[in-house]
Amino acid sequence: MKKNINLLFLVFLIFFAEGCEKQLLDKKPLDIITDAQVWNDPNLIKAYVDNLYSRAPMSGLYMAENPALLITTLVVSDEGCTNYVWNTPDRSISGSLDASGGELEYWDYTLIRDINSFLINIKTGTVPEDDKKQYSAQVRFLRALAYFEMVKRYGGVPIVLKPQNITDGDALFVPRNKEKEVYDLIGKECDTISAVLPESYSSSDIGRVTKYAALALKSRAMLYAASIAKYGTEQLDGLVGIPKSDANSYWQASLDASKAIMDDHKFELFNKYPEDKAKNYQMIFLEKDNSEIILAKKFISKIYGHGFDDQTQPNFNYTYWGGCFSPSMELADAFEMKDGSSGVIDWPNIKGQERVIFKNKDPRFEASIMYNGQQWAWDTCRIWKGIYTETGEAKNSETEQYKGMDEVGRDQKTSQGPTTGFLLKKFLDPTKVFPLDLESDQDWILFRYAEILLNYAEASFELDHPDDALDPINQIRTRAGITALGSVTLDQIRQERRIELVFETHRFWDIRRWRIADQFLGKNLHGAYPYYHFATNQFEYEVGNADFFNRVWKQAYYYYPINETRINNNPKLIENPGYN
């Protein structure tokens, strides 16, 4: 490891280290801090750890620099489409992904190296042993999280648990471990650190990893491993795929981690506004540190903020990008009615305002998706795509009016316009008026209690205990304001997961681990476009293709390519099937 550490590297997120800024500025010299100073100074150690937090894959949708990147994990699923024709869709759903890779990548051995270096060097410091244990456990969680983000993309990846040195020669070239070995590492790490980490922190340290965050990561990761074992196929001697005989042990490991969280009763489904189910669901993602949140990435407006509102608000309330994502008609139809009946709308034959059409929809729909005529912030959304005159003449000029009505609704004019007739609402803050980049401060929730209930339900069902799966599903449905189920099937558990976790970046990875992506990602998505008809004084709807490209799914896409560049840099790496 280098003998000197640049101060700027250490204080990248110094505001997390409350009270240490003045002490840092008192250090001499100001441009360089030695190893001895770092590992013997609690404030500098804390700043180092904060830097690792800042670089870990914890930001979800909130930190992309432009909307083309921000919404990629949504566009690649069946949740919706980009509104920007210039935004090249992820190649894995347009049929052009090859060994060059390049999209939805995550391969961060720089972070892992720095974590490994920390774990070695912290042992040399004179700070209290309990501090060493606590910080080491936190950064081991970040390493486990990084490995999870890699294994869910590529299958087996090299496991490196010690800092490498440039003088190591051929030892620098580490081969891929089996996919099973990576998941086992994650599970083992979560077990170890959950026994060390505290259950909670004081208000100044909220956002750090707790015992329950480690259990939540294990709950999720073991669920993935179980699905891959049951539904996937082993290839390349286990570099991808997991033996089918291991499925139940992973289901059980996921269930046990979920149950440990549930049994401690430290978290509960957010239900602060039970009289307004849509508002209640919406506020889960706006009220910081609420009862449902197990771990969230913290943001502070203008200091360490993000631009999600600026990039996704409807046309009348954005300042630069705006309206970058449109939920699909298929997703809108997937939301059930409050009584549990099908929510599929007969779009070509229905007439009227959408607020009436959607009146009895699952309230989570109202909280997640914007539609024509819906109230938002200080105005209503106007997302009609055109009008028909009394004689049936179609008019759709973005600059003209007919009898005082815009031919194209104001919010349909966002860039190329909503490609589906809908806009994203979930996560957005209605109090943000003309928000600027970095002004948004909604925290990104990595783990919340509802997911734990869903994980528990899925694992229970897969272990042939469907009765145990029913109650957690009904807890979520009751909170949402939708009729409880009398019994539950695997399809209903997956449906509930699709709706409850909508837009939280789960859907794409879920349908991949279930190996059903071909059913959903190999066909184009659609929009339900409002047109106002002057003859009937009603909105009517036309269904059309919403994509700017043809969606194609190939069997190889269940794993991303390691890619040519990485293999050229490390000849011991073996490419995934289908990319040679």
Angstrom CA distances, 169 to 100, 164, 569, stand at: 26, 10, 13
What is d(CA 128, CA 185) in angstroms, rounded to the nearest whole number? Answer: 28
Give me the mean pLDDT over the 6-27 stretch: 37
Give the pLDDT score at 29: 45
- For residues 339 and 483, the answer to whether their CB atoms sit within 8 Å is yes
Query: Percentage of the chain surpassing pLDDT 90?
Result: 78
pLDDT bin (cut points 50, 70, 90) of residue 43 is very high
Return the closest-CA partner of residue 53 out of 308, 395, 298, 237.
298
Q: What is the pLDDT of residue 416?
A: 62
Q: What pLDDT was estimated at residue 88?
A: 61
Cα–Cα distance for residue pair 336/401, rounded to 1 Å: 36
Residue 573 has pLDDT above 90, yes or no: yes
Report the b/e string of 67-82 with b at 16+ CB within 10 A. Answer: bbebbbbbbbbbbbbb
**525 with 546: CB under 8 angstroms?**
yes
Residues 574, 157: Cα–Cα separation, whole Å = 10
Taking residue 429's Cβ as centre, other Cβ atoms within 10 Å add up to 18
Burial 155-191, CB ≥16 within 10 A → b, else e: bbbbbbeebeeeeeeeeeeeebbbbbbbbbbbbebbe
Mean pLDDT of 49-77: 86
Cβ atoms of 411 and 380 within 8 Å: the answer is: no
Q: What are 318-336's pLDDT values in tens digits?
A: 666 678 899 999 999 999 9
For residue 84, the model assigns a pLDDT of 77
d(CA 361, CA 339): 9
Token pair, residue 224, equals: 């993935």
Model confidence over 176-235: pLDDT tens digits? 999 999 999 999 999 999 999 999 999 989 999 999 999 999 999 999 999 999 999 999
| Predicted pLDDT at 320 | 62
Report pLDDT digits (tens) over 232-249.
999 999 999 999 999 999
* Rounded distance between C-alpha atoms, residue 309 and residue 317, angstroms: 9
* Tens digit of each residue's pLDDT (9 = 90 or more) over 294-308: 999 999 998 999 989
Average predicted confidence (pLDDT) for the chain = 91
The predicted pLDDT at position 20 comes to 37
Q: Above 70 in pLDDT, residue 4?
A: no
Look up residue 14 and give its DSSP letter. Answer: G
Q: What are phi and psi of 100, to 5 degrees?
A: -75, -20
| pLDDT given at position 16 | 38
What digits encode the pLDDT tens for the residues 370-407? 999 999 988 899 999 999 999 999 999 999 999 999 99
What pTM was estimated for this model as a whole? 0.93
Report pLDDT for 89.
66
Check pLDDT > 90 for residue 524: yes
Question: Quick check: 515 pLDDT over 50?
Answer: yes
pLDDT of residue 86: 65
Which one-letter DSSP state was computed for residue 443?
P
User: Has residue 433 got a pLDDT over 80?
Assistant: yes
How far lies 442's CA from each of 51, 78, 355, 438, in Å? 20, 25, 27, 11
Asked whether the predicted pLDDT for residue 15 surpasses 60, the reply is: no
15, amino acid identity? F
Rounded Cα distance between 322 and 412, Å, is 11
Of 563, 565, 560, the C-alpha closest to 76 is 560
| Distance, CA of 359 to CA of 356 (rounded, Å) | 5
Note the Cα 219 to chain centre separation in Å. Answer: 16
234 vs 376: CA distance, rounded Å: 49
If DSSP codes are grouped into helix, strand and coil, which group holds residue 534? coil
The per-residue pLDDT for range 247-291, each reduced to its tens digit, is: 999 999 999 999 999 999 999 999 999 999 999 999 999 999 999
Confirm if 263 and 221 have CB atoms less than 8 A apart: no
Whether the predicted pLDDT of 36 surpasses 80: no
Which parts of 1-97 are beta strand (E)? 4-6, 32-34, 80-82
Give the separation between CA 219 and CA 254, rounded to whole angstroms. 4
Q: Please say if the pLDDT value at position 32 is more than 60.
A: no
Radius of gyration of the chain (CA): 25
Query: What is the model's pLDDT at position 415?
Result: 58
Q: If you count them, how many residues does the chain have?
A: 580
pLDDT digits (tens, 9 = 90+) for 250-262: 999 999 999 999 9
Residue 10, pLDDT above cutoff 60 = no
pLDDT at res. 115: 97
- Over the stretch 313-322, which tens digit does the pLDDT of each residue have? 887 766 666 7
Residues 97-143 pLDDT 10s:
999 998 889 999 999 999 999 999 999 999 999 999 999 999 999 99
Confidence band, pLDDT 50/70/90 cuts, at residue 9? very low
What confidence tens digit (pLDDT) does each residue in 455-499 have?
999 999 999 999 999 999 999 999 999 999 999 999 999 999 999
Query: Which amino acid type is present at position 126?
Result: T
Q: What is the C-alpha to C-alpha distance for residues 511 and 78, in angstroms, rounded to an integer?
A: 10
Question: Encoding tokens for residue 157?
Answer: 């990846």
Q: What tokens were used for 328?
A: 């699909």
